[in-house]
A and B are shown apart, each in its own frame.
Chain A
Amino acid sequence: MTALSIRNLTKTYRNGLTALKGIDLDVNRGDFFALLGPNGAGKSTTIGIISSLVTKSSGSITIFGTDLEKDPERAKSFIGLVPQEFNFNGFEQVKHILIAQAGYYGVPAKLAEPRADELLHQLGLWDKRNTPARALSGGMKRRLMIARALVHNPQLLILDEPTAGVDIELRRSMWAFLSKINQQGTTIILTTHYLEEAENLCRNIAIIDHGNIIENTDMKSLLNKLHKETFIFYLKSVLPNDFTLPIADYLKLDDTTIEIEIDGDTGLNSIFTALTQQNIEVCSMKNKANRLEELFLGLVEKSEATL
């Protein structure tokens, strides 16, 4: 069964801006799905319509088989939303926010309380449970939004840039938490500007640009489309003056660093062989850019060129 099915969804705002131009999208139950796109591409509009914060112009949305328009109460009960902006009452205590949110979903306080306690422990907010939300740090506020979205045990969790402005340590702990709840069966849809995040977490991906879905596939197939990758090699000794590398394009960055563009046919082994033949030892190497980032930029540029 699909967790989310979108058909021919369009949205034109009152100012005439068409944010969505008839998109189709399916997300399978249990998936960890990335919805990517540049700023203004239509990601937040899509999420806004799914979560009933934005009214659609036309099209249909089905959540776990329930039409959002025909039976909004049932369809909404499946969803937990972590929006981009902080949207809780800063004057309320952390625990009250969670229990109230569960209440809006019809979960009585006596059932919501243990669930809220569990989430507060898991997300490292237990010590702050009686603190007004406005007194939390930025990272804690982000975690509070995740806890709030999960307090009614949703089957579909939608996260709109959940790690924006979060330090790397916290970001990684959030990744681990999200992976865990996905393994426990929660379907997750994630939008993010950190493409490394999408590459690490998500199995399937859609890229949206100018209100159209320009790519919708599994992560592996998408990454296989990457014909060229650029690596930076850090060398143990100074690069010889007579260095040559006929099998790939390269750029000498300094005496001990070279940037090599490798296509899919060449492979890394050939590069290492060529370097070894010239007595060049490699200390370490890294991707110049994230693989998904390279693909993403290529697809978006292509999409813009066709407009």
Chain B
Amino acid sequence: MNSSIHYRHWIAFYTLFSREVRRFLRIWPQTLLPPAITMTLYFIIFGNLIGTRIGEMDGFRYMDYIAPGIIMMSVINNAYANVASSFFSSKFQNHIEEMLVAPIPNYLILAGYVAGGTARGLCVGFIVTLVSLFFTQLSIAHVFITFSMVILSAVMFALGGFINGIYARSFDEIAIIPTFILTPLTYLGGVFYSISLLPDFWQHVSLANPILYMVNAFRYGMLGISDIAVTTAFAMILTCITALTCFALFLLHRGTGIRN
């Protein structure tokens, strides 16, 4: 009986996950192509044109220094955007009801969307990594840290996108958080610079930015350098994932934004 329940749950999860993957692959000119183009421009403008004048950062060519941050930025943005827009669309078109009437536990609905968002984040991350190979020679100093950090970051922001999707009542409301919060935090999260360049006060302010930890831990995985302790980064991300998961499940249980 239990195994049959687990099997049904697995089928439900896989259905939702594969539907999400099919969705972002079907609309690849909107989901996969733009980040590849944008990140190519980052490499050309910041890495190549400006970077050659900047020189080295923490002992690495500027292009090599920013590459991990740019990859992480694309993963974060796409994991978030995928879940926020997909979940909101399912509310907007009412096909969220297909899941609500079915015997799927809330945690599986959350897991399906988050896995879909993570898959897009990683897919875009892979594409951007391939693009970066035209500009820099990538190396991986710590394989486990690199891969676990990119996956955990994608999961964390997919969860954030899910919560945004739950609360959103219009397409504008799914653009507000990425535009006014996510993008500024990303730019201030040490993608293009080391926080050691900042005055003390702003260094301390920067420590409140979760993206700083992800970018630095990921950079540590690839280049072996970081502005912050990697264990702190893992602890912070795991804490955020736990808190966001609990909050998303609470909202689903309460039916916020999805049930009358």
Please say whether chains A and B are actual partners in one complex: yes
Binding site for B on A (CB under 8 A): 13, 48, 51-55, 72-74, 76-77, 79, 81, 83, 85-92, 96, 99-101, 103-108, 148
Instruction: Give chain A residues whose Cβ lies under 8 Å from the Cβ of B93.
Output: 87-90
**8 Å CB contacts to A: which residues of B15-61?**
15-16, 19, 22-23, 26
Which of B94-102, B176-184, B230-238 lies at the interface? Answer: B94-102
- Within 8 Å by CB of B260, from A13, A83, A88, lies A13
Evaluate contact between B99 and A89: CB separation under 8 angstroms: no
A104 and B260 form a contact (CB under 8 A):
no
- B1-17 vs A, Cβ < 8 Å mask (1 yes, 0 no): 00001011101101110
Contacts of B94 in A (CB 8 A): 85-87
Chain A residues within 8 Å of B19, by CB: 92, 96, 100
Chain B proximity of A214: nearest CB distance (Å): 24
A residues near B206, Cβ cutoff 8 Å:
none
Residue of B nearest to A111 (CB): B11
A-B contact count (CB 8 A): 82
Among B8, B15, B101, B105, contact of A100 (Cβ-Cβ < 8 Å): B15
As a 0/1 sequence over residues 89 to 133 of chain B, the CB contacts with chain A under 8 angstroms (1 = contact) are 110011101111111110000000000000000000000000000
Q: Are A73 and B103 in contact, CB atoms less than 8 angstroms apart?
A: yes
Residues of A within 8 A of B14 (CB): 103
Q: Does the CB pair A88–B98 fall under 8 Å?
A: yes
| Contact-residue bracket for chain B | 20 to 34
* Distance of A226 from chain B, by nearest CB (Å): 36
Which of chain B's residues have a CB closer than 8 A to the CB of A87?
A: 93-95, 97-98
Give the docked Cα–Cα distance between A91 and B101 (Å): 21
Q: B95, A88: Cβ atoms under 8 Å?
A: yes
* CB neighbors of A among B75-100 (8 A): 89-90, 93-95, 97-100
Bound together, the chains give a CA A175 to CA B174 distance in angstroms of: 43
B259 touches A104 (CB 8 A): no
Q: B109's closest neighbor in chain A, by CB?
A: A104
Residues on B with beta carbons closer than 8 Å to the beta carbon of A48: 260
Q: Give every chain B residue within 8 A of A92 (Cβ-Cβ).
A: 19
Of the candidates B5, B7, B8, B26, the one having the most CB atoms from chain A within 10 angstroms of its own CB is B8
- A53 engages B90 (CB within 8 Å): no
A-side contacts of B23, CB under 8 Å: 91
Q: Are the CB atoms of A100 and B98 closer together than 8 Å?
A: yes
Contact flag A104-B16 (CB < 8 Å), given A51-B101, A53-B101, A76-B101: yes
Q: A55-B259, A103-B11, A106-B12 are in contact. Are A76 and B102 (CB under 8 A)?
A: yes
- Known interface pairs A72-B103, A92-B19; 18 further A-B residue pairs with C-beta atoms within 8 A, sorted by A's residue number: A13-B260, A52-B259, A53-B100, A55-B259, A77-B103, A79-B101, A83-B97, A87-B93, A87-B94, A88-B93, A88-B95, A89-B93, A96-B19, A104-B16, A104-B98, A105-B12, A106-B11, A108-B11
The 4 nearest A-B residue pairs measured at CB: A106-B8, A103-B15, A104-B102, A87-B94
**A86, B89: Cα distance in complex, Å:** 14
Chain B residues in 8 Å Cβ range of A88: 93, 95, 98
Residues of B within 8 A of A104 (CB): 12, 15-16, 98-99, 102-104
Binding site for A on B (CB under 8 A): 5, 7-9, 11-12, 14-16, 19, 22-23, 26, 89-90, 93-95, 97-105, 255, 259-260
Q: Looking across the interface, which residue of chain B has its beta carbon closest to that of A134?
A: B93
Residues of A within 8 A of B9 (CB): 106
Contacts of B101 in A (CB 8 A): 51-53, 76, 79, 81
The residue in chain B whose Cβ has the minimal distance to the Cβ of A102 is B15
* A148 CA to B12 CA, complexed, in Å: 15
CA distance A91 to B27 in the complex (A): 10
CB pair B98 A101 closer than 8 Å: yes
Chain B residues with CB under 8 A of A107? 11
Please, which residue of chain A has its CB at the minimum distance from the CB of B4? A106
Bound complex: CA A1 to CA B102 (Å): 23
Residues of A with C-beta under 8 A to B90: 89
What's the nearest-Cβ distance from chain A to residue B48, in Å? 39
A54 with B7, Cβ < 8 A, contacts A83-B97, A101-B98 known: no
Complex CA–CA separation, A72 to B108 (angstroms): 14
A102 to B136, CA, bound (A): 47
Alpha-carbon distance between A19 and B94 when the two chains are bound, in angstroms: 22
A13 to B120, CA, bound (A): 38
Residues of B within 8 A of A91 (CB): 23, 26
A148 to chain B, nearest CB (A): 8
Residue pair A106, B103 in contact (C-beta under 8 Å): yes
What's the minimum C-beta distance from A200 to chain B, rounded to whole angstroms?
27
Report the Cα distance A89→B98, complex, angstroms: 10
Report A-chain residues with C-beta under 8 Å of the C-beta of B102. 76, 101, 104-105
Query: Cα distance A104–B97 when bound, in Å?
Result: 11
A220 to B105 alpha-carbon distance, docked (Å): 42
Please state if B260 and A54 are interface contacts (CB–CB under 8 Å). yes
Interface centre among A48, A74, A87, A101 (most CB of B within 10 A): A87
In the complex, are the beta carbons of B98 and A53 less than 8 A apart?
A: no
Q: How far is the CB of B96 from chain A (nearest CB, A)?
A: 8
Residue among B5, B89, B100 with the highest chain A CB neighbour number at 10 A: B100
In the assembled complex, how far is the CB of residue A164 from the closest CB belonging to chain B, in whole angstroms? 16
Residues of A within 8 A of B22 (CB): 96
